[in-house]
Chains A and B, each alone.
Chain A
Amino acid sequence: MITKDYVILAAEGMHARPATALVKLTKKFKSSFSLKKDEKIIKLNSMLNILSMGAKGGETISVIIEGEDELLASEALDEFFNEQLKNL
């Protein structure tokens, strides 16, 4: 299991576009993903869940990854949160 913290670098926060991209990204892996903000944990396979979490730009969230390809998945998430998110 890998847990990582990320600062949300999109001004509008985890809105529809980033959430869509994130759900699509996680579908490429066998691992299961959860998202944690404050004390709330959700499964990362649902757009509605991500949107209703209401994570805003500049807030910190944690991602929990579990599965056989978790290492690869966590690298992809690094790229997503540190690079791609800014441009979405």
Chain B
Amino acid sequence: MKTDKSYIQGIGVSLGTAIGKAFVLKKNNAALIGKSLETKEEITIEIEKFDVAVKSSVAEIETIKNYILPTSTPEAAEILETQIELLQDPEIRECVLQKINEEKKSANDALLETIHSFVELFKNMNDEYMSARSADVQDIGNRILKNLNHSTEKESIKFEPGSIIIADDIPPSDILSIDLSQIAGIATCNGSKTSHASIIAKSKNIPAVAGCGNDLLQINNADTIILDGIKGYVIINPDENIITEYTKLKDNYIKKRMMLQSLKDVAPITTDGRQIKLTANISNSDDLDVMFENGGEGVGLFRTELLFMNRDSFPTEEEQFDFYKKVALKSKNKPVIIRTIDIGGDKQVSYFGLPMEQNPFLGYRAIRICLDRKDIFIAQLKAILRASIFGNLKIMFPMIANAQELRAAKEILTEAKNELIKSNIKFDEKIQVGIMIEIPAAAIAADILAKEADFFSIGTNDLIQYTLAVDRMNDKIKDLYDPFNPAVLRLIQNSIEQAHKHNIHVGMCGEMASDPLATLLLLGMGLDEFSMSAASIPDVKNCIITNSFANASAITKKVMEIDDSKKIITYLKEIIS
């Protein structure tokens, strides 16, 4: 049959691409019986029938659980636990019993109505996650119902290996009773990112598209389907060209994912046992998902500018608090370094009322604005402090050039703390305070600053441009912008050495931290933490786990003896090839 609409747009809920034959899952609809109970005996029998049906349902899920347990992900086992709790939920039983006892309804009808009302309740909750729970309630309802009506139909669903499952929605217990290793992909009319079926698909790396709507129902068994879990497309009976294109996409994606997967849970430790911290640079709480997916261990740089840019007025302390709290809650207690406002330079914001400057990068920016506009600074610090009880937050000041600035910033932080104490608001009293090393003065005087900071984070982007007097936006001189310039390397090395001499942690959050060419050199200098965009973590990790710290130190020693950055780059390229 020729389909009238061969491209269907849904929501990509599990990444990847699949090509295969469609297998359409049909569902059976339950119906009301409408019979009214007459005697006490009938009532007792219906209640008993209900209780037995619940017991059998629990037993079924237990069986599925034991069957899949040896190979399942923790997510799958937890979803089944939830199902068991829901099946035995006292609220459901109470509702059903009331309908049987007082309204004289059959167990079948009482259950149908009860489930329907709970499903509607969840559907109408103003929250994507909670609305998705309606499918779970429907699922346990269907299961009890099936047992209530003594249906003995076998549960196993048979299909060709490599099929793409097409369904209205896939209830959690169904998706778990299907042999997932035989499925190439899943597409559903309903559902969302937080449907249990989507979570399972994601944990098993099965590409899936949900929320395709009823257009999906035109698909017949054995139609050829392409499923794009990244863009959220379902393509029905595509031509050869599209199939070839997608086959290529699929292979690339699988290759990349295999590498990610194999490294995700590997700790970044060198072959001779030096443990490194690999963290992510983020701008909001959504970025944390990618951080965890790539095996990141926290956040080395949380830029707060996003909250201040693209708007007409200052965000309130409350707004800021919500923004930081979201990140704190989602970070699963992993350390998160929040950098205070870094506006100015290339990041202009109209309502700050900053005058035009001859040299914005050398002008009124970042901590310089904050020390001058205490009102702005103190609102941000209070918001961060208030959020600090929800996770493991640290504060970092950007653009520190001397110890006086650090002291002044810390004094304002103390003021912010005192204001909170006065209002009886809790915060992490031991919150760590560190600085960015991005002005050459700070790198040179690292010994002085290390005495008063809890940690350093080297910001190479600015450090390089200030050290070499090169505007990194200027195309004509962009070749002069050179991370491997011996002067830059000396500043980085001094910052790391001084930090360690004073027993403080030192990380790097600039581009250089994500460059595999620089990994061994920085490792050899003794850098404790590499923070980068999350997607780069596996590459850097790969470099760390396949080398020794001793070897890296020897490489660093050699590099520091070379006087020409071109030769340094050639040498480093030779080593990693």
Contact = CB atoms under 8 A, between A and B. Distances in A.
Nearest to B92: A48
A38 B129 CA distance: 21
A9 B82 contact: no
A30 interface: no
Nearest to A13: B129
Contact of A24 (B85, B89, B285, B329): B85
Nearest to B78: A17
A45 interface: yes
B84 to A, nearest CB: 8
A2 interface: no
Given A46-B90, A49-B91, A17 B82 contact: yes
A9 B390 contact: yes
A51 B330 contact: no
A11 B194 CA distance: 14
B69 interface: no
Interface string A28-51: 000000000000000101111101
Contacts of A67: none
Interface in B316-345: 325-326, 329-330, 332-333
Given A7-B390, A16-B82, A17-B82, A54 B130 contact: yes
Residue among A10, A11, A15, A17 having the largest count of chain B Cβ atoms under 10 Å: A11
Contacts of B137: 48
Given A20-B81, A54-B125, A47 B325 contact: no
Given A9-B390, A52-B121, A54-B125, A46 B89 contact: yes
Nearest to A24: B85
B329 A47 contact: no
Contact of A47 (B86, B121, B129, B330): B86
Contact of B86 (A24, A43, A48): A48
A43 B333 contact: no
Interface in B89-134: 89-92, 118, 121-122, 125, 127, 129-130, 133
B133 A16 contact: yes
A21 to B, nearest CB: 8
B444 interface: no
A54 B90 CA distance: 18
Contacts of A20: 78, 81-82, 85
Given A45-B90, A46-B90, A16 B330 contact: no
B389 interface: yes
B136 interface: yes
A52 B123 CA distance: 11
A24 B325 CA distance: 28
Contacts of B91: 46, 48-49
A87 B392 CA distance: 13
Contacts of B90: 43, 45-46
A53 B332 CA distance: 23
A4 interface: no
Given A45-B90, A51-B133, A58 B85 contact: no
Contact of B85 (A11, A23, A52, A57): A23
Contacts of A51: 122, 130, 133
B265 to A, nearest CB: 16
A46 B118 CA distance: 13
Contact of B89 (A10, A16, A48, A86): A48
A9 B329 contact: yes
Interface string A57-82: 11000000000000000000000000
Residue among A15, A47, A58 having the largest count of chain B Cβ atoms under 10 Å: A47
Contacts of B326: 11, 57
A12 B129 contact: yes
B103 to A, nearest CB: 20
Given A9-B390, A46-B91, A51-B133, A58 B86 contact: no
A51 B85 CA distance: 12
Contacts of B330: 11
Given A20-B81, A47-B89, A87 B136 contact: no
Nearest to A43: B90
Contacts of A54: 125, 127, 130
Residue among B79, B86, B325 having the largest count of chain A Cβ atoms under 10 Å: B86
A20 B82 CA distance: 6
B136 A58 contact: no
Contact of B332 (A16, A58, A87): A87
A7 to B, nearest CB: 7
A16 B194 CA distance: 11
A47 B78 CA distance: 14
Contacts of A24: 81, 85
Nearest to B125: A54
A70 B79 CA distance: 29
Given A15-B129, A23-B85, A58-B325, 12 more contacts: A7-B390, A17-B78, A20-B81, A20-B85, A24-B85, A48-B89, A48-B118, A52-B125, A54-B130, A58-B390, A86-B332, A86-B391
13 contacts: A7-B390, A11-B330, A16-B79, A16-B136, A20-B81, A24-B85, A45-B90, A47-B82, A48-B86, A48-B92, A57-B329, A58-B390, A87-B332
Interface of A: 7, 9-12, 15-17, 19-20, 23-24, 43, 45-49, 51-52, 54, 57-58, 86-87
Interface of B: 78-79, 81-82, 85-86, 89-92, 118, 121-122, 125, 127, 129-130, 133, 136-137, 285, 325-326, 329-330, 332-333, 389-391
